[in-house]
Structure 1
Amino acid sequence: MKVDGRVERGERTRRLILRRAADIASVEGLEGLSIGRLATELEVSKSGVFAHFGSKEELQLATVRAAAAIFVRRVVEPALAVPPGLDRLTRLLDGWLAYSEERMFPGGCFFYAVQAEFDARHGRVRDVVAEYGVRWHDLVRTTIAEVPGLEADADQVAFELVAFLELANARSVLHDDPHAYRRARTAVRARLDRAGADSGGPVSGGPVSGGRG
């Protein structure tokens, strides 16, 4: 079946707009987005951008969803390709740290940035940001629960591991700390080893390694 060239061009333009919007939002927040700004930066018509989204709120919602899709491809899908257990958990945590450290978005973790922006607000944008945050935490928790020796304390371990990741992102972005990601990897290994010791044996075996931090 022949694809309508106009539809294909429209989808390509929409993807281009949303990729740029996500980059901007990771640095300046979702409130930093405007249809006029994106039209100017991408050299497309303002009416063309408006036709894709219709309002600033719809642009913000679409940007969050686009950023989530990028995150899933970069962090979640490679981890889910590994069988459940320690290797999957390691891949998931490594993937998140690499996603932040390598600046998949120029402001570091997109969701860390926009959660801080919308955490005390109400409305559709806040709700979708919160939903993705819950999904991420639940994925970490369920992945931990599949590791022998960690299942009994999965909620607490997930809370601590996510905190290590987010602090590394914050220290790197805000303070230019060159050691933030290395310290996070060390903290993750130590927490997994402690959980293993509490359950009668080591868990980590040296996971969560590499990176430039």
Structure 2
Amino acid sequence: MTASTVDIPPKPARATRSLQKGQQTRSVILDAALALASHMGLEGLSIGALADVTKMSKSGVFAHFGSREELQIAVVTEYHRRFEEEVFFTAIGETRGLPRLRALYERWVHRVSQEIDSGCIYISGAVEFDDRPGPVRDALVAMVHAWHSALSRAIVLAKEVGHLRVDTDVEQVLFELHGLILSLHHDARFMRTPGAVPRAGTGFERMVEYYATPEGRAADAQHRRTAP
């Protein structure tokens, strides 16, 4: 081994540090972009606005997101990742059936209640892009479809374990669940109506009463007694 070889700096280490720094910077930009989009919508995002908020140059922000559209899609993807972490992955540990379905609903409501002063990107994005085809709309639709698929699977499992009636229409239950959340978001955020959260809860309990079997009601009641 020659001296010149020994003196060569370890390029992989430098590359790793550079990659980590780039990821950290991107994470900072995404945090700022999520905060902006929550208050101003996805259409309110711009490279210039993010540069002002993060105290970076426009070229620095642009280096991580090559276009406004790419930035919007990245925000949608990151919002969905955080939504899954907070709502879905914390609920699937519950027992299959009504306990898990209730956990999904309650964590969803908790998420909405936290967003009353900011906003849900799924809902605001649907308003902004409902009639505007393109990659951003496609990303939003894909994320909502993924969430609906998870809910549908939980409803199907509740039927399979005998907690919901055999004639339960899975799509109808999903529609009613989503309808409760949309009503809650509208009344709590837009109308500032007091008591919107407990009203949504009353709607959920009526759904359970209508669709649940005696075994399902017993399992649900046991879960509610023992859950933190």
Number of aligned residue pairs: 206
Q: Kindly, what percent of the aligned residue pairs are identical? A: 34
| 1:36 to 2:85 alignment | no
Shift of 1:77: 0.5
Shift of 1:27: 2.2
Aligned to 1:156: 172
Q: Give the secondary structure class of the aligned counterpart of 1:178.
A: coil
* 1:95-125 alpha-carbon deviations (Å, 9 max, x no partner): 111011022x852322111111111110011
Maintained 8 Å contact 1:36/1:46: yes
- Name the aligned partner's letter for residue 114 of structure 2: E
Aligned to 2:97: 85
The match for 1:123 among 127, 131, 134 is 134
Maintained 8 Å contact 1:107/1:113: no
Maintained 8 Å contact 2:34/2:75: yes
Shift of 1:163: 0.6
Maintained 8 Å contact 2:42/2:72: yes
The match for 1:113 among 97, 106, 124 is 124
* 1:167-186 alpha-carbon deviations (Å, 9 max, x no partner): 10121111112311111111
| 1:51 to 2:63 alignment | yes
Shift of 1:54: 0.6
| 1:172 to 2:188 alignment | yes
Looking at structure 2, the residues matched to 206 and 46 of structure 1 have their Cα atoms a distance apart, in angstroms, of 56
**What TM-score do the two structures reach when normalised by structure 1?**
0.88
- Name the aligned partner's letter for residue 53 of structure 2: E
* 1:114-173 alpha-carbon deviations (Å, 9 max, x no partner): 111111110011011011111112211211111124253221111101110121012111
Shift of 1:200: 5.7
Q: Mind listing any 5+ residue stretches in structure 2 that lack a counterpart?
A: 1-11
Aligned to 1:211: none
Looking at structure 2, the residues matched to 33 and 182 of structure 1 have their Cα atoms a distance apart, in angstroms, of 34
Shift of 1:201: 6.2
- Name the aligned partner's letter for residue 153 of structure 2: T
Looking at structure 2, the residues matched to 12 and 166 of structure 1 have their Cα atoms a distance apart, in angstroms, of 34
- Computing the radius of gyration over CA atoms, which structure comes out larger, 1 or 2? 2
Q: Structure 1: which 4+ aligned runs deviate by more than 4 Å? A: 199-202
Aligned to 1:27: 39
- Name the aligned partner's letter for residue 164 of structure 1: L
